[in-house]
Structure 1
Amino acid sequence: MRLTRLAGVLGATALTAGTLFTSAPVASADQVRDAQWVNQYFDFDKVWSITKGDGVTVALIDTGVKPDHPDLAGSLLPGYDPDGNGRETNPTEDHGTGMASLIAAHGHGNGEGMLGLAPGVKILPIYRGEGGSMQDGIKWAVEHGAKVINISQVTPVGADDGFAEVVAYALQHKVLVVAGAGNDAGPVRTPANVPGVLAVGAVDKNQQVWAKSNYGPELMLTAPGVDIVMAGIGSGTCTKQYCKADGTSDATAYVSAAAALVFAKYPDLTPGQVANRLVKTAAAPAGAAKLPDAHYGYGIVQPYKALTANIPAGPAQGPLAAAGAETAPSAGAETSKGSGSGGADTGRAPSPGALPNVKQSSGSSLPLILGIAGALLVLLVVVIALAVASSRKRNRAQQLPPQAGAPGPYGAQPGWPPAQPQYGQPGQQPYGQSAQQPYGQPGQQPPPPYGYPPQQQPPYDNPYQGGNQSR
C-alpha cells in the first residue's frame, strides 16, 4: 500500500502525493474531512440514519492500533499479541491504525478529525507482523466476540497452513472473514482466495478498478481504495497523524465496515447472508458486461442499499464457498492451533472430516451396508435357483415321448402322436428311414414343440452405448 503524507500548503486544502513538507503545519480539520471523498461517495449521514454499527465487534489482524489517537479514543477493546509483547496497542507502523480509522474513526469534536464508515463498532486489535500467523489471530478473534474479521494483508505465495479449516471454523461460529485481494495486479492472494473468505478489490472515485488491484474468480466485491485518507501513529510515514493511501487494504476496511453495519441492523443473519446482501446491492461498474467480473467481483459495495433493500435472507452459506459454512458448531468445541504464516490456496474446500467442531457420528454405517449386500446376495441366489429349476423342468417335458390321444402341439389332431416305429418289421427301414413319412409330405420336418426354441426378439438399442457420458 502506498502512503503519502497529508499536509497544508500555503493555507490551501491539498493532499501532497510525494514530497514531505516538514515545515508545513498540522493539517486542519477541514483538510482531513474534505479530503475524504468516500464520505460523500457513501453518503455517511444517510447510512448513519439507519445504523452506525453499535454493538458489533470488528477484529483487525494487522500491525496494531494506536489507542490514544483522538479519532479512535474509546473504540478499542483489549487485543492480542501472540508473543505477549503488547504490540497490538503499541504499533511501530501506521497500517493497522489506518485500517481501524477507516472502519471506526469518529473524529474528535467540532467537526475535527476523520470519520470511518461504522463509527459505532468496537475494534479488536490483533497483532500480526512480518511472518506472524493469521490463523491464530482468526481463532482468537472468533473466541473473543468478533462478528467480522478484517485482514488487510496477504501471505507469502506457496504457503498453506490450515487456512481453509480456520476460515470454516469462523463461519461455523457466524463470523465473517474479509480480506484484501492484493496489490501487485496478479491473481487473488491468500487469505482472500481461501473458500469462505469475502475477497475485496479496489476502485477509484470514478468507479474504475485500481491498476494494481489483484483479480480473479475469487474476487467478490470492490470498494474505494485510491486516494484514501487514514489516521496514523504520528511517526514514520504519518508524521502528522494522517496519511493518504492507495490499496486493496483500504477497500477491505470499507467492506468490513459495511458488513458490520449489516450485522448491526440484521443480527440474526449468518455471514453468508450478510455477504449476500452486500453482493446483491453492489453497484455494477461501467464497462463490466457480465457479473461477477474478475476485476470487480459482483460490483462496488453500497452500504445504504445493503441496509435498506428488500433482500430475502437466502441460504445460510450465501455466496461464500467454504465447505461446512452451514454446520452448527458444537458447544465448547475447540480447534487445533494454526501454524506458520499461511499462503496460497490450493483451490480445495476443507473436507468435512477435517473441519474443527464438526460433530462426526460415533457409529458406523458398515453393518448396515453389509446387511443390505447380504440380503441382495440371498435374493440373487434364489432367483438363479428358480430359473435353473424351471429350465430343467422344461427340458424333461420336451424329452418325454408323447402319449396316444394326447393333444398335438396345435391341439388335438388325428394321427398324433405317430406310432413308434418297430425296427426290424418287414418293409421298415432302420433309423426312421420309413417309406411312409408320418409328418405329411415327403421330406417335411415335424413342427417344433410349443415354446421351444424361444421366439427371437429383434435386438434393442442400448442407451448406454455411444455418445458422451457425464463424468
Structure 2
Amino acid sequence: MAAAPIASADQTRRDQWALETLQAESAWNISKGEGVTVAVIDTGVNAQHIDLRHNVLKGKDFIDGDDDASPESTDAQPSHGTGMASVIAGHGHGPGAADGVMGLAPAAKILPIRVNLEGNSGFADEIHYAVDNGASIINISMILQDSQYKDGASAEDLEAVAYALEKDVLIVAGAGNDGKGGDLPFPANTPGVVAVGGVDRTGSFWEDSNYGPEVLLTAPATRIVSAGWPGNKLRISDGTSDSTAYVSAAAALLRSKFPDLTAGQIANRLVRTAALPESAKGLTLPDEKYGYGVIRPLAALTEDIPVGSKYGPLKVPGAEGSSAAPGTGKSDTDHAAENKEADQKQLVFFVVLGLIALAVIGLIVFLIVKLSRRNKNKTGGSGGPAGYPQYGQHPVSPQPHAYQQPVSPQQNPYQQQSPPPHGQWPPQQ
C-alpha cells in the first residue's frame, strides 16, 4: 500500500526475495496458473507494462464506465493495482524472461477492475462483475475504514460475497497496514473472505500488519518489487496488499492444478500446508497474527491433503452477516452437524467396503486351497504332469486390500486448536 523509491531494472529479479522463499521455481514445474483468471479490484492495471503485457484482459472502469481499466493520474495510488497484478501474474521479459517482475502465477490472466469508492459504495458491483466475467479468484488489496463499515460489510457487500461463493469464486483481502489489533477493517472482516496478514523476510509477523481473529493466512509483505505506472516503471512497497496478492497467486496455482476443487477446498489446501517460523512455534492456531501460518505454495501443490468440505475454513455470510450458506439459511452449527454425519457415513462405507474385501479375499484363498488339493489328488503328489509348469504348489496369500481396515476420518483442522506439524518457514531448500 505504501510505496518506496523506484527500483532499477537490473536488480529487479534478485530483489524478488519472496519468489525464492516461496519456492516458486519448484512450484512452476507443477503449475504456473494456466487457465485461471484473477480479478484485481483496485486502482486499475497498466496492461501495457512490459512485465504484464498479454496477461491482462479487458476489464471495467467503474469510475468512467468503460472497459479500459487503466490507472489515471488523479488516483490516490495509480501504481497500486498494477503492482498487485504483477505480483500475481507478472511474466518478466528478456531472454528466458530473466529480467523484470515475475509473479508467483506467471501464466494466470488478470481481469482488471478500477474500483469506484465514491460515496463509500463498497465492492459489491465490482465483485458481481468479476464473478460474471470469468474470474475464479478475486484479489482485493484495499480496505475501507469509514464509519459506515465499522460494524462490518453492508447488506449489498454481504450479498456479493455470498454470490461469489455460490459461483465458486474465492475472495482474498488484505488485513491493512495500521499495526492494529482487534477486528479487521472491511472487506477482510467479512465472512467468506480469506483475510491475509503480512510477514517479513524471516517469516516473522510484520509489525505494521493489522491482526485479529479473522486472519486466516499470512504471506510476504516487506520490500516487495512490483510493476508500476506509467510506462514500465517499477515500485518497491511494504504492505498486506502484497501479501494478499501472493495468496491470490498461490490460489491460482492450485486452481490450475486442481480444477475440480471448490473455492473453500482451495483455501483448505493453503491452510493445511501453512507453516509458522521457528520464533512462533507453539502458538495456538488460528493465531490472531499468523492465522494458520505462512503460505507454502509448493507444499499446497504436492502434499496429500484431504479434500475437505465445500466451504473448508471459510465462514459463509448470510443475509444479515450471520454464518450461513448462501440461499440455504443453514447456520455453522447445522453445517457442522452435516459434516459430522457425512464423516460417519464415510466411515460406515469404508467399514462395509473393508468387510466385503475381506470376504472376497477369504473366498479367493478358499478356492485356491481347494483347487490345489484337487490337483494334488489328481497327480498323486505335489508335482504336475510331466512337461507342464508346476503352478500353485505353494499358494501365496494375496496382499491385504487397501480397504481391509476401516479408514479413520480426518480431523477437522478448523476445530482443533493445536498446530499441525507442517514444517517450518521459510522452507528449507
TM-score calculated relative to the size of structure 1: 0.63
Cα distance in 2 for partners of 1:28, 1:139 equals: 37
Say whether residues 1:44 and 2:33 are aligned partners: no
Say whether residues 1:112 and 2:99 are aligned partners: yes
The secondary structure found in structure 2 opposite 1:102 is: helix
Cα distance in 2 for partners of 1:351, 1:296 equals: 25
The correspondence for 1:191, drawn from 187, 190, 197, is 187
Distance 1:129 1:229, change over 3 A: farther
Cα deviation 1:218-251 (Å, max 9, x = unaligned): 000000001111110137xxxx711110000000
1:236-385 to structure 2, matched below 5 A, reads 241-285=233-277, 286-288=279-281, 289-323=283-317, 348-349=321-322, 355=326, 358=327
- Report the Cα offset of residue 284 of structure 1: 1.8
Residues 23 and 297 in structure 2, CA contact (< 8 A), matched pair in contact too? no
- Report the Cα offset of residue 72 of structure 1: 0.2
The secondary structure found in structure 1 opposite 2:102 is: coil
Residues 51 and 92 in structure 2, CA contact (< 8 A), matched pair in contact too? yes
Matching residue of 2:69? 88
Residues 65 and 91 in structure 1, CA contact (< 8 A), matched pair in contact too? no
Quick check: 43-52 or 183-192, which moved more?
183-192
The secondary structure found in structure 1 opposite 2:244 is: helix
Cα distance in 2 for partners of 1:183, 1:88 equals: 25
The secondary structure found in structure 1 opposite 2:13 is: helix
Matching residue of 2:214? 218
Distance 1:351 1:33, change over 3 A: closer
**Percent identity among equivalent residues?**
48
Cα deviation 1:184-215 (Å, max 9, x = unaligned): 12231110110010000000001111111111
Distance 1:350 1:140, change over 3 A: farther
The secondary structure found in structure 1 opposite 2:40 is: strand
- Report the Cα offset of residue 85 of structure 1: 4.7
Cα distance in 1 for partners of 2:124, 2:317 equals: 17
Say whether residues 1:6 and 2:2 are aligned partners: no
The secondary structure found in structure 2 opposite 1:114 is: strand
Distance 1:350 1:313, change over 3 A: closer
The secondary structure found in structure 2 opposite 1:305 is: helix
The secondary structure found in structure 2 opposite 1:170 is: helix
- Report the Cα offset of residue 323 of structure 1: 4.3
1:65-80 to structure 2, matched below 5 A, reads 65-80=45-60
Cα distance in 2 for partners of 1:231, 1:91 equals: 15
Residue 147 of structure 2 aligns to which amino acid in structure 1?
Answer: G
Matching residue of 2:388? none
Unaligned runs of 5+ in 2: 330-429
Cα deviation 1:18-56 (Å, max 9, x = unaligned): xxxxxxxxx233x00011111211122101000100000
Cα distance in 1 for partners of 2:174, 2:324 equals: 25
- Report the Cα offset of residue 280 of structure 1: 0.4
Residues 161 and 317 in structure 2, CA contact (< 8 A), matched pair in contact too? no
Residues 191 and 315 in structure 2, CA contact (< 8 A), matched pair in contact too? yes
Cα distance in 1 for partners of 2:255, 2:235 equals: 29
Q: How many residues align?
A: 311
Residues 181 and 200 in structure 1, CA contact (< 8 A), matched pair in contact too? yes
Cα distance in 1 for partners of 2:249, 2:134 equals: 16
Residue 249 of structure 1 aligns to which amino acid in structure 2?
Answer: S
Cα distance in 2 for partners of 1:261, 1:34 equals: 22
Residues 276 and 319 in structure 1, CA contact (< 8 A), matched pair in contact too? yes
Quick check: which has more Rg, 1 or 2?
Answer: 1
Residues 157 and 190 in structure 1, CA contact (< 8 A), matched pair in contact too? no
Say whether residues 1:168 and 2:162 are aligned partners: yes
The secondary structure found in structure 2 opposite 1:113 is: strand
Matching residue of 1:202? 198
Matching residue of 2:109? 122
Residues 55 and 89 in structure 2, CA contact (< 8 A), matched pair in contact too? yes
Say whether residues 1:99 and 2:104 are aligned partners: no
CA RMSD after TM alignment: 2.0
Cα deviation 1:354-375 (Å, max 9, x = unaligned): x5xx389xxxxxxxxxxxxxxx
Residues 59 and 68 in structure 2, CA contact (< 8 A), matched pair in contact too? no
- Report the Cα offset of residue 129 of structure 1: 4.3
Distance 1:123 1:91, change over 3 A: farther
Residues 70 and 108 in structure 1, CA contact (< 8 A), matched pair in contact too? yes
The secondary structure found in structure 1 opposite 2:235 is: strand
Cα deviation 1:91-117 (Å, max 9, x = unaligned): 430000000000000011221111000
Cα deviation 1:141-181 (Å, max 9, x = unaligned): 00011100000001134324222221111001000000001
Matching residue of 2:379? none
Matching residue of 2:225? 229
TM-score calculated relative to the size of structure 2: 0.69
Residue 273 of structure 1 aligns to which amino acid in structure 2?
Answer: Q
Residues 65 and 97 in structure 1, CA contact (< 8 A), matched pair in contact too? yes
The correspondence for 2:124, drawn from 111, 135, 155, is 135
Distance 1:161 1:87, change over 3 A: farther
Distance 1:350 1:87, change over 3 A: farther
Cα distance in 2 for partners of 1:28, 1:217 equals: 39
The secondary structure found in structure 2 opposite 1:215 is: coil
The secondary structure found in structure 1 opposite 2:245 is: helix
